[in-house]
Amino acid sequence: MNLISISRMRAFALGSLAAGAALWLAAPGLAQGKGLAMLGALTKGEWTIKQRDGAPDRKICLRSGAELIQIMHQENGCNQFVVEDGAARVTVQYTCPGNGYGRTSIRRETGALVQIESQGIHDGMPFQLVAEARRTGSC
């Protein structure tokens, strides 16, 4: 491989990276976890999260659906990146400065029932959550 070929490959790689960054910056709603229509279509109200590992059930008040993304990281100020935004499934990766990160996939079965898989690091410890969340009332 000659020097010209290497220079062209570098220019192509840098151009692709710049184009990807421009696209990411041009869609701030997706970068922030907004615009996830599937989550917005879930029935609002009290939801019970039942983990498959037998941990105690948790109850949350679902207002926008986004509350299901960061179950282990309840704090504000986390950066989110949408990996998948489908009609029946969303996947979001997030980072919480000073408190770890996670990746959550939510699969919609009905407007009142979803399956959740999340894993990452919280308070310096790894976590893995596999759960079913179901609407159980109003809040």
Q: What is the pLDDT of residues 16-41, one digit of tens each?
A: 333 333 333 333 333 344 568 999 99
Average pLDDT, the chain: 82
**How far is residue 5's CA from residue 70's CA, in Å, rounded to a whole number?**
45
* The residue to which tokens 């692709």 are assigned: 16
pTM of the model: 0.74
What span, in angstroms and rounded, lies between the C-alpha atoms of 62 and 39? Answer: 10
pLDDT digits (tens, 9 = 90+) for 93-128: 999 999 999 999 999 999 999 999 999 999 999 999
CA–centroid distance for 67 within its chain: 10
Beta bridge partners of 93: 81, 103
Q: Which of 49, 14, 21, 34 is nearest to 132 (CA)?
A: 49
With CA atoms as reference, report the closest residue to 101 among 86, 120, 85.
120
Could you state, in order of their start, the residue ranges of all structural domains in the chain? 1-30, 32-137
- Which residues lie across from 120 on neighbouring strands? 102, 127
Domain 32-137 has CATH 2.40.310: yes
